[in-house]
Structure formats: C-alpha cells, structure tokens
C-alpha cells in the first residue's frame, strides 16, 4: 500500500487584506496623525462650518448673537446686489494682480542683478531685504506720512525742486489711492520674490548657458530661452504665494486709509472686517466670506492644476 | 498759575442769562440736584467749588465694607496717544488708591484704546468671557443694554441718587425705561484757534468765528492770506473722532440723524436728508472742495494727526478737548531746535472758545463722556460677578473726588458733587480754558440712545462725508444715500 | 571645415596656470583628442578655443582668422557637451533650430537644415519629442545634431560620452567616428578615457598639469611615449615602470634591480642609458612584450608571482620587481599561481628606457 501524502488544497492566490484589516494593521499611524487632525478640525473645519452656518442668519445690533434670525440666502442677495461689493471686488483684483505682477518683476530684476558678484553685493542684498523685514504697521505709518497730502516728504521735494506747484494728492483722492497703496505693497513684497528667484537662479545649469552662448544667444536670449524657463517652477510657487498674501493683505490698506476715501481703497478683506467689526453685521460678513472663499478656492484650484501640469512637464528640471 | 483771561472773554461774550435760558429748555426739573443747573455759569461754578468735603473711602465703605475680600475684573479706555501725561498720572493714582482702600479686593484691570475697546469687548461677550465691570464711552452702552448683556444699575445701588448726575448722561444709560450704568465723567469739546494765525490773516485774534458759516469764511481767508490750512476737518471712517466733530455742525444748522437734538427724542424719523442737514454737509464741502481751505489729508486724518499740525503752526482752527492744551505741552517737550520755538509760539497763542452756532444761533456739541456698567454673570469670564467688589469699584470711580480727578484735564466730573470739591477749586486755578469746557456743558446733546448708533456714527456718517468730499456723489446724493443706509439699518439687517 | 592653430596658449587663474604654453596645429578634417587626467587643462583649452573662457595670452586661429577677441557665436564653432545641454522645454526640432534662429535665418532654410541633420543622424522620427522623452543615446545624438546644423568649421566635444553606460558608450564611439568620416569634420575631442582617445582620434594631445606632453598619432604615442607620464597614461593595462640603477658589469652596460639581479642591455639600449643624467634609469615594458616562463632561462630575471588575474581571453600576472609591480600577459592555458617563482624575459627592442630624474624617454641620439 503506497502512502500518498495528504493533498493540501493549494490556495490559488493569497486573499488581499480587506480595508478594515489594513486599517487595523496601520492603527499606530492614525494615532500619529490624530493630533494634527484634531487641531485642523478645531482651528479650520469648525470655524469654516460655523461661518457658513452664520451666513444664513441676520444679526441686528439689537439682538444677541444667539438670537439671530434665519433669513436664508438674503444675505447673499444683499451683498451681490450692493454696488460697493462690485467696486470692492474690482479693487481687490486690481490690487492683487498688479501687486503680484510688479513684485514678481521687480524681484526678478533684483535677483538677476544680484546674481553676478560685484563689490558691495552683500550690502546691497541686505538693504534690499529691509522692506520685507520691517514691521508692516511701522512701514504703513511711515508711508502714510511720506504720502501726506500737505506735509509729505514726496510732496515737499517735488515742490522744492519746482516740479509741482502743490504737493500731489496720493491717498486722499479716489483715483490715486489704490495705485499709491499698491506701490507701498510692492515695496514691501518684492524682497520675498527676489529671494525665491535668487535661489532658483543658482540652479540654472551652467552647461546650458554655455551651449546657448555658443549657439549665438545674447544676454536677452539666454535669459528668455534658458534662465526663465528654468525658473518656471520657482516662479509659479512665488506668484501663488504672493497672490494669496495679496488677497489677504490687510495691514497696508487698513492702517493707511481705512478703506477710504469713499471705499476707493477697500479690498475684500478690509471690507469684511469693517462689516463684521465696525458694523456688527456678522451674518452679512459671513456670507461675504463664503463668497470670497468660493472665488479664491476656484482660482486656486485652476492655478494649482496648472502648477501640477508644469511639474509633470519637468519645468524645473 | 497764569491769569485765565479767556474766562473773562467768555463772560463778556456769553451772558449768564442765555445759559440759564438754554438750561431751562434742557433740564426743567433740576431743583433737587446738589448744584443748581439753572444758575450754570463760570461764576456759579467758581462759587460752589471747594464748598464741600467728601470722604470717598467712607462713602463707598457704606456700599461695600472696606475689608471686603473679593475679586473684580475691569476693562476701560486707558490713556494713550493724544492724551496728556497728567491724565496718565491720575489713572495710576486711582488704581493705587483703590487698592490701598480695599486691600482685600483683587482688582484685575485692563486698559484699551478707544477703537479697540469696543472690538475687544464685543468679541469677549460673544465668547461669554467679558469682564465684570466695564467703562465704556457714552456712545457704546446702549448697544449692550439692548442685547441684554448688562445688569440693571442705578446710582442708588452705589450710594448716590439720579440727581447727582447730568440728566443727559443718565438718559444715555437708559434702555426701555431702566437704568444700566453710572456716568463717570462728561465732557464737551470746544473750538481751539491760533490767535497769531488769525492776526496774520487779518482777523481779530481774540474773536472766534461765531457761526459755522463764519468758520467757512475764516478758513478761506486764512488760507488765502497765509497759505496755511484754516479748519482741521476730520473725515476718516472707522474712527470715533469724525462724528464728534461733524455732529455739532449738523445740529447747529438744524439738522440731525434723527430728532436727537430735540427735548424728548423718539428717534423715529430720519432727518439726515433734510434741507438743514444738507446745508451742514454743504459747509464741509465748501471748505474742502470749493475753497480748499482745509488739509487735503482730512479724509485720512484723525484728531491725533491734527495735533502735530496745529503745534507746528500749520493749522489755524480745530475742535477738540480742553486737554489738547496739555497734549500740546507734552508734544512740545519732544520738539527740538526751531520746531520747539514754533511750538512755544503756538502754545502762547492757543485760544479756546465756544463751538460756533448755526445760522439761527443754535449751538450744539456732542455730550461726551463715559459710563461704567456691570455685566450679567452669565457673560462674565468665570460665570460669576462679585457684586460687592464691582459696586465698590463703580462707587469709587463715580465718587465726587475721583470722577473729578479722572476727568481732571480734559473732561468734567459725571458726579455733580465733584464740582463742589476742593480739587475743583484747584482745577479752576490751574487749568487753562477750563471755563470754556464747563460753559459748553449745557449745549451737550448725547448721541441717539439706540443700539444702531455706533454703526451710524462711525461708518455711515463718515461715509457720507467722504462721498461728498471726494465728489463721488453730490452733497444731495450723499445725504440721500446716507439716509437710505440708515433706513436699511433701522429696518433690521440690510447693509 | 578649417584647420585650427593654437599658439602659446596661457590661461591663468589666480597664480596658477591652468593652461601653460600649449601650442598645436590641427589640420583640416582631423580628429584630435585632448586627453589627460582630471585637472590637466584639457577642458579649459577647449573652452579657450570656443571662446567661453578668455585667454590670458596666446593666439587662436580658426581657418586663417585670429579669433582671440571674437564671440563664441561668431567663431564658426559648434560644441557638444557632456550633459548634452539640450533645452528641456523645447522639442527636438526646436533644439536643432535654435542656433539657426539665433542667426536669424529664414524659416524655410532652418526647416531644411534641421531635417537634413535629423536625417543624417537618423532622428527624423524623434523631431516632435521633448528631451526628457529620449534615451541617453538619443539625447546625445540630438546634441550632435544641434552642433551639426550650424555647419561649423570646427566641432568641439567636451567628454560627450562620459554620461553613458559602458555598452552605449562603445556604440556611440563608433557612431561619432562614422560622423567624423562622413563629414570629414575637424573635431577637437576632450576625454579622460585614453581608450576612447586612442580608438577615435587621428592625433592625441596628451596633457598633464596644464602642459602639453605629447602630440602625435595614437600609434606613435603608444610606441614612443616621450616621457613616463605619457607612457603610463596611454595603453591599458598601463605600461609597467621599474626603477633600476645603471652600471657596468664586465665592461657591459647593465641595469641592476633592487633584489640584486642584473639585466644586460643591447648596444642600442646601452647608448640610450649613457645619455641619462644620473645612474637612475626607469625601465618601461608593456605587458605583451614580457615573456614569462615557469623555469629559468638565460637572461631572464627571477621573480615571484604576486597576483594572477584570469580574464578569459588572457591571464594577467603581476610580479614585484625592484619595488614596482610588473604586469605580464600570458595565454589563458598557462597555469600560474600566486607566490610561484617565475622568470621574466624583457624584449630589448620593445622596451622603453626613461631617465630616472627627468622622467624623459632616453634616446640614442
């Protein structure tokens, strides 16, 4: 009688672990992530939720907040129907786009200038960073006095040198207030762009520049065909950071003009602040914030998608 | 101890009778108050000064025993930029004395600026983390009373009577017939001018403009003759200074936001777009746009920005507190070289006068001041209010002695008994221009005592000014637009 | 195509001469390799010819033109780099077209030249790709193409094959050689790999420490190295160099080793040794010229096998003589073990003799 080995039925393939099994295996990982998630829920998720909820209520000054009245989408209608909102929206877009663009270009120019060594370069670098490191509040106050319509330094110089009969009106005129504030904002921000781009410039491959030189590219063509495309990744990141900062830029406008004159320098963020804290209209301010949130998130989404595309193309190789 | 010659000018310029007559309109039943408001005049004030002694510790000891053990938290508007050093010293003295008098009460006090106090207080209340006691400027209290944050608090609760305080001040503490606070001090502003600049412009250096139309005229003349700005217009939004300077103008012309200037206002009808109100706005327009006789920077200026201009001799007139004189002295200490010389010249030529009247002779000024309130326990950080400790603090600050001392340079005691203390006598002898302050008190009009007032005064009225002055809207349109906004606000909810 | 003349080139960095008085002439259509170890100045020399680095002194002529002060783009040169240096965001077509665009040629001409170069390098199907989609070899071909479209007088290549793996390198070597033959191009080629240089170039310029050591055809450099450096650098495995002392025994010139053995010299070699500045002489012998026997033979030097390296094709045996390692190749069937005594016979006609002090090759006349 032959002894046959007992046949063990072979499993065709090992069964893949189910979701719960995998989660259990990784239970320690969840614990590590837990504190961060809790903080995010408290600091971000809950306030966002509460703001959205509040946006559907009316909060008159004669009632406590907890006695607010439900009004559905009325707050949104009020905002979208008010002329001031559209003017402030226009201001905000002008503010953000022009500030970001100018800060980027100025930063790029300075980074390029500081790229090659010359005597005193380190000193120049230090001086150029000063606007960024100065306290924003201090800078705003100083610029307010520089721009002063009667006794500002700029006005005084122009009059002394005979270029103008009277000091120019920078921040007390509805037409020139926004450009004047943009100048201050760009002055504050360009060192950031300069530093980011200077770092990027260090990584431009030397051989590529030499190849371009041999190919006959002069300074401009070298920049345009070699340096600038190489800076694409850094540029996109810098512009994104600048744009976000500018959308939310509060200090310069609030301190220098408080949004005036006649709402000419109000941007979204200062206008919301005024409605919430100056006028106690929490419901309307919440609705306003939600509208802004949606607009900025969609802009951000498309921007980051473009950024992702750039990364796939190896823009910063 | 310089001779106060302006007092004589006031006496010459304004007859006692006219003040009494004005008072009769305001406060018909002032017979029972410790001072006779019908007799109000600089001479009367001088006569009652130093006629009574008060022992604050004893008086407040009757409300809360001096050895009481407890704790009280307190927020108030501290002394900051634009305030004289003298005031800072008195604030320090107050807290030191309170702590010495009530050694077992743990006092946690916090000082905030005018603009920050409202913000922070509102936020704290939302989180039910407010202080037990708060001292708010007169504009602020009714908002919180209407929302139900404040406890009922009458003068009788702390050992005084309602007659011990200005009737107008008591009015600002009432909501739906109940009292929710005690006045600590009351003040009114006056017109300040630089006599030297008047002289250089060909105006009588000792005569202030009598009417607002005169202000416009003087401003223009000063600008044309000297090239220096005439009137220190203030039109910045979100700053408390603006309504305090525009409303007197508005009321003087016979206008108003509602009927707050009348004897018994009910705030039912909006008057910001009446012809009289538009005339007032037109006056500002004429100065800023037509004559260009005021600083272009008025749109972004606060009063604190006007002070250095005045001190440098670059501004001829402004409306402000009597304490601005002390501010000028403080600022001069920081000046150097020829600037110090200019500053001294300005200070020597600084004059105070009554606020101008409207074309019909109506004179008005904002009845300013502060009140102290006690919060309901459920809105206080910790959920409890130490009633005796809180009352002790309120009693202390609103006592004749301290309501006077804390209002030493720039204001007046809320407690009328303060006018009888020996320190009042000192004040009259030491403080320049005090006569003017006291003389303006009868013309004080409190802001509308409705919860929408902060929004109206700090945002809508300055907005109207800015719209008109920048030419974004015509004067007519700006006034109509403001009236419409107020209608929206009053109807609950709309922007 | 043109010839290139380098006259007394000097390039100084700080106090140090990276290129120290280098002169050579490259004829029209010649493939010249600048070869040497890292830091010998070969890349610097190439950059000087390209105009990417400024000359301290000397002259460079391309064609009949003195190009010292001429911009790289006007020197009629094209360069191929080690890292290919392709423009990453441009397609292959655009990469090839770029130099022509810089010269502002009309569109149709650019198109023609690009297609022509692509065809020549068998890249027509790659024209619309981007560099990152190509393999290393394809990228190098694009780099060649970009140089080709310029139709230059001289091609300058800076270690173009160093980034490729061994197998690809061999393949590309023959491609470049083919390139050279088809175009009859003048090529200056920099490499640290002597095998590459030897297999591809018409002439070798061996450099070390900024100085040109020897400039001649590979065969001559191989057969007659002018000094010890060239001798040890060219040829793989390297030539064995043994330090010996010259003396006479019984009236015959011999070389004595440290172990006490002596090697008799032929009359020609004896004459060479007489030219030495001292008694220190270095004997050089390539591995294929030494005969190894496992038993004593008259005239052979006794030694001991140190290591044995069988490679399949041939077996290398290392032995120690006079403190130096000597490399001998033997057919694979010869069995030698470490520590086994062996005898080495040197070929008098194919040995090299160098002055121990100056390191220069000794000559008979």
pLDDT tens digit sequence for B205-249: 988 999 999 999 999 999 999 989 999 998 888 766 899 899 999
Whether B31 shows a pLDDT value over 50: the answer reads no
Measured between beta carbons, the chain B residues lying within 8 angstroms of A149 are 295-297
What number is the average pLDDT over the span C7-15? 90
For residues C275 and C281, the answer to whether their CB atoms sit within 8 Å is no
Residue C249 CB-density burial (10 A; 0-12 exposed, 13-18 middle, 19+ buried): exposed
What number is the average pLDDT over the span B278-289? 94
Pick the CATH number of B8-188+367-445 from 3.30.420.40, 3.30.70.920, 3.40.190.10, 3.30.300.170: 3.40.190.10
Are C200 and C331 in a shared domain? no
Closest CA to B126 of A55, A272, A68: A68
In angstroms, the CA B457 to CA B446 distance is 12
pLDDT at residue B377 in the model:
93
Within-domain flag for A200: yes
Domain boundary residue among C214, C233, C252?
C233
Nearest to A278 among B238, B299, B471 (CB): B238
pLDDT at residue A300 in the model:
81
End-to-end CA distance of chain A: 73
pLDDT at residue C235 in the model:
87
Nearest to C103 among A208, A216, A315 (CB): A216
* A243 min Cα distance to partner chain B (Å): 27
Whether A54 shows a pLDDT value over 50: the answer reads yes
Q: Any CB–CB contact under 8 A between A154 and chain B?
A: no
Are C141 and C171 in a shared domain? yes
In angstroms, the CA B404 to CA B407 distance is 5
Are C151 and C55 in a shared domain? yes
Angle at A210 between CA A207 and CA A214, to 5 degrees: 140
Are A144 and A205 in a shared domain? yes
CATH of the domain at C307: 2.40.50.140
- Cβ–Cβ below 8 Å for C82 and A207: yes
pLDDT (tens digit per residue) in B360-418: 988 888 888 889 999 999 999 888 999 999 999 999 999 998 998 888 777 888 888 88
Whether A160 shows a pLDDT value over 60: the answer reads yes
In angstroms, the CA B286 to CA B59 distance is 54
* A299 min Cα distance to partner chain B (Å): 28
**How many structural domains is chain A composed of?**
2
In angstroms, the CA B189 to CA B306 distance is 15
Are A148 and A229 in a shared domain? yes
Q: Any CB–CB contact under 8 A between A2 and chain B?
A: no
A and B: number of Cβ contacts within 8 A: 105
Q: What SS3 class is residue A176?
A: coil
Mark out chain A residues that contact chain C at CB-CB < 8 A: 205, 207-208, 210-217, 221, 225-226, 229-230, 232, 313-315, 317
Closest CA to C7 of C31, C26, C32, C33: C26
Structure token digits, residue C139: 């990228």
Q: Any CB–CB contact under 8 A between A150 and chain B?
A: yes
Are A184 and A157 in a shared domain? yes
CATH homologous superfamily of domain B190-365+452-490? Answer: Periplasmic binding protein-like II (3.40.190.10)
Within-domain flag for C88: yes
Are C189 and C83 in a shared domain? yes
Domain that holds residue A303: 51-81+280-310
Spatial strand order of the sheet with C280-285 comes to C262-264, C252-256, C240-249, C280-285, C352-355
Q: Report CA B174 to chain centroid distance, whole Å.
A: 18
Within-domain flag for C153: yes
Within-domain flag for A225: yes
Q: What SS3 class is residue A58?
A: strand
Summary mean pLDDT of chain C? 89
- Cβ–Cβ below 8 Å for C72 and A207: no
Nearest to A172 among B146, B300, B454 (CB): B300
What number is the average pLDDT over the span B290-310? 87
pLDDT at residue C48 in the model:
93
For residues A283 and A56, the answer to whether their CB atoms sit within 8 Å is yes
What number is the average pLDDT over the span C268-277? 88
CATH of the domain at C213: 3.40.50.300
- Cβ–Cβ below 8 Å for A205 and C89: no
In angstroms, the CA B434 to CA B352 distance is 9
Mark out chain B residues that contact chain A at CB-CB < 8 A: 119, 122, 126, 143, 146-149, 229, 235-239, 295-300, 309, 314, 450-452, 454-455, 458-459, 463, 466-467, 469-472, 492-495
Within-domain flag for C364: no
What number is the average pLDDT over the span C68-75? 88
Measured between beta carbons, the chain A residues lying within 8 angstroms of C98 are 215, 217, 225
Within-domain flag for C210: yes
Quickly state the pLDDT bin for A11 (edges 50, 70, 90): low
Which among C89, C104, C152, C163 is the top mutation candidate for probing chain A, defined by the most A β-carbons within 10 Å of its own β-carbon? C89
Nearest to C79 among A205, A214, A230 (CB): A214
* A316 min Cα distance to partner chain B (Å): 46
Q: Which long-range contacts (CB under 8 A, 24 or more apart) does C87-90 make?
A: C87/A208, C87/A212, C87/A225, C87/A226, C87/A229, C87/C131, C88/A229, C88/A230, C88/A314, C88/A317, C88/C130, C88/C131, C88/C132, C89/A229, C89/A232, C89/A313, C89/A315, C89/C130, C90/A225, C90/C130, C90/C131
Task: Find the closest chain B residue to A152 by CA distance.
Answer: B297
Are A194 and A228 in a shared domain? yes
**How many structural domains is chain C composed of?**
2
Q: Any CB–CB contact under 8 A between C134 and chain A?
A: no
In angstroms, the CA C71 to CA B220 distance is 71
In angstroms, the CA A191 to CA A107 distance is 6
With a pLDDT cut of 90, the percent of chain A lying above it is 45
Within-domain flag for C172: yes
CB atoms within 10 A of CB A202: 9
For residues A19 and A240, the answer to whether their CB atoms sit within 8 Å is no
Whether C contacts B, i.e. 3 or more CB pairs less than 8 A apart, is no
pLDDT at residue B5 in the model:
42
- Cβ–Cβ below 8 Å for A61 and B455: yes
Are A189 and A241 in a shared domain? yes
Q: Is the peptide bond before C245 cis (omega within 30 degrees of 0)?
A: no
- Cβ–Cβ below 8 Å for B314 and A151: yes
Quickly state the pLDDT bin for C24 (edges 50, 70, 90): very high
Within-domain flag for C97: yes
Structure token digits, residue B215: 């202000």
- Cβ–Cβ below 8 Å for C89 and A315: yes
Are A147 and A243 in a shared domain? yes
Q: Any CB–CB contact under 8 A between A79 and chain B?
A: yes
Within-domain flag for A30: no
CATH of the domain at A139: 1.10.3720.10
Are C201 and C255 in a shared domain? no
Instruction: Output the 3-class SS for chain C.
Output: CCCEEEEEEEEEECCEEEEEEEEEEECCCCEEEEECCCCCCHHHHHHHHHCCCCCCEEEEEECCEECCCCCHHHCCEEEECCCCCCCCCCCHHHHHHHHHHHCCCCHHHHHHHHHHHHHHCCCHHHCCCCHHHCCHHHHHHHHHHHHHHCCCCEEEEECCCCCCCHHHHHHHHHHHHHHHHHHCCEEEEEECCHHHHHHHCCEEEEEECCEEEEEECHHHHHHCCCEHHHHHHCCCCCCEEEEEEEEEECCEEEEECCCCCEEECCHHHHHHHHCCCCCEEEEEECHHHEEEECCCCCCCEEEEEEEEEECCCCEEEEEEECCEEEEEEECCCCCCCCCCEEEEEECCCCCEEEECCCCEECCCC
Q: Write b or e for each residue in B460-480: b if 16 or more Cβ atoms lie within 10 A of its Cβ, otherwise e.
A: bbbbbbbbbbbebbebeebbb
Q: Which of residues 251-280 of A touch B (CB under 8 A)?
A: 256-264, 274-275, 277-280
Task: Find the closest chain A residue to C85 by CA distance.
Answer: A208
Within-domain flag for A254: yes
Are C184 and C282 in a shared domain? no
Instruction: Output the 3-class SS for C192-213.
Output: CCHHHHHHHCCEEEEEECCEEE
pLDDT at residue B339 in the model:
83
- Cβ–Cβ below 8 Å for A207 and C146: no
Q: Any CB–CB contact under 8 A between C39 and chain A?
A: no
Least confident of B61-75, B112-126, B346-360: B112-126
- Cβ–Cβ below 8 Å for C89 and A211: no
Are C105 and C147 in a shared domain? yes
Whether B4 shows a pLDDT value over 70: the answer reads no
Domain boundary residue among C217, C233, C249?
C233
Domain that holds residue C35: 4-233
Are C38 and C185 in a shared domain? yes
Measured between beta carbons, the chain A residues lying within 8 angstroms of C83 are 205, 207
Within-domain flag for A132: yes
Contacts of residue B339, Cβ cutoff 8 Å, sequence gap at least 6: B312
- Cβ–Cβ below 8 Å for C85 and A225: no
CB atoms within 10 A of CB A253: 26
Within-domain flag for A275: no
pLDDT at residue A8 in the model:
55
Q: What SS3 class is residue A69?
A: strand
Q: What SS3 class is residue A308?
A: helix
pLDDT (tens digit per residue) in C104-146: 989 999 999 999 888 888 888 989 999 999 988 888 889 989 9
Whether C172 shows a pLDDT value over 60: the answer reads yes
Domain boundary residue among C179, C205, C233?
C233
For residues B83 and B303, the answer to whether their CB atoms sit within 8 Å is no
B17 or B467, which is more confident?
B467
Are A156 and A201 in a shared domain? yes
- Residue ranges covered by each domain of chain B: 8-188+367-445, 190-365+452-490
For residues B206 and B195, the answer to whether their CB atoms sit within 8 Å is yes
Q: At what angle do helices C136-149 and C166-183 cross, to 10 degrees?
A: 20
- Cβ–Cβ below 8 Å for B297 and A148: yes
Measured between beta carbons, the chain B residues lying within 8 angstroms of A78 are 494-495
In angstroms, the CA B295 to CA B469 distance is 12
Nearest to C77 among A214, A217, A229 (CB): A214
Q: Report CA B251 to chain centroid distance, whole Å.
A: 16
Quickly state the pLDDT bin for A163 (edges 50, 70, 90): confident
Nearest to A260 among B229, B236, B451 (CB): B236
Task: Find the closest chain C residue to A212 by CA distance.
Answer: C99
Are A152 and A288 in a shared domain? no
Q: Report CA B377 to chain centroid distance, whole Å.
A: 30
Within-domain flag for C365: no
Are A124 and A262 in a shared domain? yes
pLDDT (tens digit per residue) in B118-158: 888 988 988 889 999 999 988 778 888 988 899 999 999 88
* A206 min Cα distance to partner chain B (Å): 53
Q: Is the peptide bond before A87 cis (omega within 30 degrees of 0)?
A: no
CB atoms within 10 A of CB A299: 14
Q: What SS3 class is residue A146?
A: helix
Are A188 and A218 in a shared domain? yes
In angstroms, the CA B139 to CA B151 distance is 18
pLDDT at residue B9 in the model:
43
- Which other chains touch chain C, taking contact as 3+ CB pairs less than 8 Å apart? A
- Cβ–Cβ below 8 Å for A210 and C83: no
Q: Any CB–CB contact under 8 A between A176 and chain B?
A: no
Are C25 and C163 in a shared domain? yes
Measured between beta carbons, the chain A residues lying within 8 angstroms of B495 are 78-79, 82, 84, 275, 279, 281, 284
pLDDT (tens digit per residue) in C335-355: 888 888 899 999 989 999 999
Within-domain flag for C361: no
Closest CA to C320 of C243, C248, C235, C222: C243
Measured between beta carbons, the chain C residues lying within 8 angstroms of A226 are 87
pLDDT (tens digit per residue) in A25-34: 888 888 999 9
- Cβ–Cβ below 8 Å for A260 and B451: no
Within-domain flag for A223: yes
């Amino acid at each position: 009688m032959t002894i046959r080995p007992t046949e063990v039925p072979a499993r065709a393939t090992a069964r893949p672990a189910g979701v719960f099994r995998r989660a259990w295996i990784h239970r320690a990982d969840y614990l590590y992530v837990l504190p961060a998630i809790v903080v995010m829920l408290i600091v971000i998720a809950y306030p966002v939720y509460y703001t959205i909820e509040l946006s559907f209520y009316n909060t008159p000054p004669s009632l406590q907040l907890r006695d607010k009245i439900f009004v559905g989408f009325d707050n949104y209608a009020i905002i979208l129907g008010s002329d001031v909102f559209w003017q402030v929206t226009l201001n905000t877009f002008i503010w953000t786009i022009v500030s970001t663009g100018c800060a980027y270009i100025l930063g790029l120019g300075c980074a390029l200038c500081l790229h090659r060594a010359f005597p005193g370069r380190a000193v120049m670098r230090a001086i150029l960073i000063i606007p960024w490191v100065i306290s924003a509040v201090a800078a705003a106050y100083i610029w307010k006095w520089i721009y002063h319509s009667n006794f500002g330094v700029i006005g005084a110089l122009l009059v002394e040198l005979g270029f103008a009969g009277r000091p120019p009106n920078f921040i007390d005129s509805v037409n020139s207030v926004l450009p004047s504030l943009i100048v201050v904002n760009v002055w504050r921000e360009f060192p950031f762009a300069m530093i980011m781009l200077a770092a990027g410039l260090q990584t431009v491959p030397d051989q590529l520049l030499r190849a371009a030189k041999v190919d006959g590219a002069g300074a401009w063509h070298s920049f345009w065909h070699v340096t600038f495309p190489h800076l694409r990744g850094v540029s996109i990141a810098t512009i994104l950071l600048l744009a976000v900062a500018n959308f939310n830029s509060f200090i310069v406008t609030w301190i220098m003009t408080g949004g005036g004159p006649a709402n000419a320098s109000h941007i979204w963020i200062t206008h919301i602040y005024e409605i919430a804290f100056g006028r106690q209209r929490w419901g309307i301010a919440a609705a306003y914030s939600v509208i802004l949130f949606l607009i900025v998130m969609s802009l951000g989404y498309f921007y980051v998608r473009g950024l992702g595309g750039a990364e796939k193309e190896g823009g910063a190789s | 101890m310089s001779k106060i010659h302006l007092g004589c000018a006031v006496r010459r310029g304004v007859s006692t009778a006219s003040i009494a007559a004005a008072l009769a309109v305001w406060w018909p039943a002032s017979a029972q108050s410790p001072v006779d408001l019908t007799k109000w005049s600089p001479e009367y004030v001088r006569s009652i000064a130093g006629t009574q002694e008060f022992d604050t510790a004893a008086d407040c000891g009757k409300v809360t025993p001096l050895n009481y053990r407890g704790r009280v938290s307190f927020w108030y508007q501290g002394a900051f930029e634009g305030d004289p050093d003298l005031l800072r010293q008195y604030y320090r003295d107050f807290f030191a004395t309170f702590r010495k008098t009530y050694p077992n009460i743990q006092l946690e006090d916090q000082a905030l600026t005018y603009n920050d106090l409202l913000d922070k207080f509102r936020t704290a209340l939302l989180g039910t983390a407010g202080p037990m006691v708060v001292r708010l400027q007169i504009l602020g209290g009714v908002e919180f009373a209407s929302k139900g944050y404040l406890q009922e608090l009458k003068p009788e609760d702390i050992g005084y009577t309602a007659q011990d305080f200005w009737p107008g001040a008591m009015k600002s503490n009432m909501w739906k017939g109940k009292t929710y606070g005690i006045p600590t001090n009351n003040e009114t502003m006056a017109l300040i001018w630089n006599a030297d600049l008047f002289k250089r412009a060909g105006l009588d250096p000792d005569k202030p403009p009598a009417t607002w139309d005169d202000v416009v005229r003087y401003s223009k003349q000063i600008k044309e003759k000297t090239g220096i700005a005439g009137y220190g217009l203030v039109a910045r939004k979100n700053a408390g200074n603006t309504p305090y300077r525009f409303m007197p103008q508005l009321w003087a012309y016979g206008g108003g936001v509602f009927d707050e200037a009348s004897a018994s206002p009910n705030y039912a009808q909006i008057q910001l777009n009446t012809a009289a109100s538009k005339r007032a706005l037109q006056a500002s327009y004429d100065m800023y746009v037509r004559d260009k006789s005021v600083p272009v920077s008025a749109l972004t200026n606060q009063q604190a920005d006007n002070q250095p201009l005045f001190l440098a001799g670059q501004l001829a007139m402004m409306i402000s507190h009597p304490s601005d004189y002390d501010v000028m002295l403080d600022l001069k200490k920081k000046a150097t070289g020829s600037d110090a010389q200019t500053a001294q010249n300005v200070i020597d030529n600084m004059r105070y006068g009554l606020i101008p009247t409207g074309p019909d002779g109506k004179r008005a000024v904002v009845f300013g001041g502060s009140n102290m309130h006690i919060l309901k326990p459920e809105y206080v950080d910790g959920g409890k209010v130490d009633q005796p400790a809180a009352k002790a603090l309120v009693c202390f600050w609103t006592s004749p002695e301290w309501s006077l001392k804390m209002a030493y340079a720039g204001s007046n005691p809320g407690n009328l008994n303060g006018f009888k203390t020996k320190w009042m006598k000192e004040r009259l002898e030491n403080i320049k221009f005090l006569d003017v302050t006291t003389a303006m008190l009868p013309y004080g009009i409190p802001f509308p005592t409705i919860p929408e007032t902060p929004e109206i005064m700090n945002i809508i009225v300055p907005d109207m000014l800015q719209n008109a002055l920048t030419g974004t809207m015509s004067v007519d349109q700006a006034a109509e637009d403001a009236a419409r906004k107020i209608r929206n606000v009053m109807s609950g909810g709309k922007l | 195509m043109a010839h290139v003349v380098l006259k007394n080139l000097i390039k100084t960095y700080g106090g140090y001469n990276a290129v120290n008085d280098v002169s050579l002439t490259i004829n029209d259509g010649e493939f010249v390799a600048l070869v040497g170890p890292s830091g010998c100045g070969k890349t610097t020399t190439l950059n000087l010819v390209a105009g990417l680095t400024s000359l301290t002194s000397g002259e460079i002529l391309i064609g009949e033109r003195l190009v010292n002060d001429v911009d790289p783009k006007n020197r009629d040169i094209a360069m191929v780099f080690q890292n290919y240096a392709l423009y990453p965001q441009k397609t292959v077509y655009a990469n090839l077209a770029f130099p022509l665009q810089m010269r502002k040629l009309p569109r149709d001409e650019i198109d023609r030249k690009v297609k022509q170069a692509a065809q020549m390098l068998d890249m027509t199907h790659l024209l619309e790709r981007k560099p990152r989609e190509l393999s290393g070899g394809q990228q190098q071909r694009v780099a060649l193409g970009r140089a080709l479209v310029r139709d230059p007088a001289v091609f300058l290549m800076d270690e173009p094959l160093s980034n490729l793996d061994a197998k690809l390198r061999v393949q590309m070597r023959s491609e470049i050689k083919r390139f050279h033959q088809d175009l009859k191009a003048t090529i200056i080629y920099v490499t640290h790999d002597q095998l590459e240089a030897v297999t591809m170039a018409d002439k070798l310029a061996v450099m070390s420490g900024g100085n040109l050591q020897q400039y001649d055809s590979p065969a001559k450099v191989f057969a007659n190295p002018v000094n010890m450096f060239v001798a040890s650098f060219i040829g793989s495995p390297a030539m064995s160099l043994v330090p010996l002392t010259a003396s006479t025994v019984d009236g015959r010139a011999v070389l004595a080793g440290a172990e006490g053995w002596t090697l008799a010299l032929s009359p020609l070699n004896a004459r060479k040794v007489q030219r030495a500045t001292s008694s220190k002489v270095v004997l050089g012998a390539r591995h294929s010229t030494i005969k190894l026997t496992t038993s004593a033979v008259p005239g052979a030097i006794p030694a001991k096998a140190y290591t044995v390296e069988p490679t399949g094709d041939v077996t290398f045996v290392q032995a120690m003589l006079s403190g130096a390692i000597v490399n001998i190749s033997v057919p694979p069937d010869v069995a030698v073990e470490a520590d086994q005594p062996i005898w080495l016979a040197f070929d008098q006609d194919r040995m090299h003799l160098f002055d121990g002090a100056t390191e220069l090759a000794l000559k008979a006349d």
